[in-house]
Amino acid sequence: MIMTMPFKATWTPASAWAAVVARDPALDGRFVFAVRTTGVYCRPSCSARRPNRTNVSFFQDGAAARDGGYRACRRCHPDLPVSDPVAAARRLLEGTEARLTLDRLASLVALSAGHLQRRFKARYGMSPRTFQDRRRQDRLRAALRGGMAVSRATYDAGYGSSSRVYERAGSELGMTPGQFARGAKGLAIRYTIVDSPIAHRLLVAVTDRGVCAVLPGTTDAGLEVALAAEFPKADRVRIDRGADAWLTNLVRRVGQEIGGKVGTTGPVSLDLRGTAFQERVWRALLEVPRGITRSYAEIAGAIGKPRSVRAVAGAIAHNRLAVVVPCHRVIRGDGSLAGYRWGLPMKERLLAVERGSPRQR
């Protein structure tokens, strides 16, 4: 529960500890608390795990804490100004598993709901509600990967009941919680391998939701090994081209995407499967036009994470939909080509073709 308590110019260890327990952003800037076991000092609203009270000391400000031998927390940045209501809203969302309505969140940071919505989305690339949904998804994924029972994991993640997450499993996990916990065991994937202008052979794999993998390579055997590495516990079935009308249609549309031609039915349906952060990066890549390149820093900025350039590069490296999710359009800030999952020669070839052809997106 988040509470806001009246705080005077002076404070007591008891009232300060109550603010830390509540992760109350209204008290940011009034004092900092330091943790003996980590050597770190934080603002009251810090979203890190609460320390043991016996290990906590309180200081008037960061300078006093540094004099005491502590360093600033890299998560809550206690030395930054506290007069940033949008950042305060984010800290509130990070500090609680309870659902906060936009009106309640806006009242806590002294902004109107509409103003907060606009400023939050402009800075972080999503609304406060979507931000809460993504954090909830991440908690659920982490709990399931850690072996926690589905019922306990869904409740601890903030869904309240297993039925709630099963209702939204398709959009939030890409599969049922049980399938996710078992490493996608039982997930049905159909695939075919065709000749391709971008590589000797191209594997296109689909689920019932859309294309889940586009993998270029030189041999069919090598491509099947690559698909197995991506989805080790899924049920993978190779389909001869033409034997499955829906798969054949998707393969044709993938070819249109690679050639820069979007069919009259719109872009190909994709089944993106990754962490919430990875999916944000991949969706940002989909916004980069054909014939245009972006730097890693620009992609990081586009998702509201300007300091996460290395993490963005990692997410791009895990893209399994070659060309369709155009990770080849991301280069270094100095204009040079960085690494590419399928080799720099292919990246150079793709960029040369796109720059020399009409932009059709």
Q: Judge whether 76 counts as a catalytic residue.
A: no
Neighbours of 294 (CB within 10 A): 19
Beta strand 32-35 pairing with 56-59 = antiparallel
Catalytic pick among 46, 73, 212, 327 = 327
Residue 101 DSSP one-character state: -
Assess contact for 45 and 29: CB atoms under 8 A: no
Q: Judge whether 327 counts as a catalytic residue.
A: yes
The Cα–Cα gap between 30 and 9 comes to: 8
The Cα–Cα gap between 342 and 143 comes to: 32
H/E run at residue 16? helix 13-22
Catalytic pick among 42, 46, 76, 212 = 42
Q: What is the dihedral of CA 148, 128, 281, 177, to 10 degrees?
A: 20
The Cα–Cα gap between 192 and 61 comes to: 62
Assess contact for 22 and 51: CB atoms under 8 A: no
Catalytic positions are 42, 327
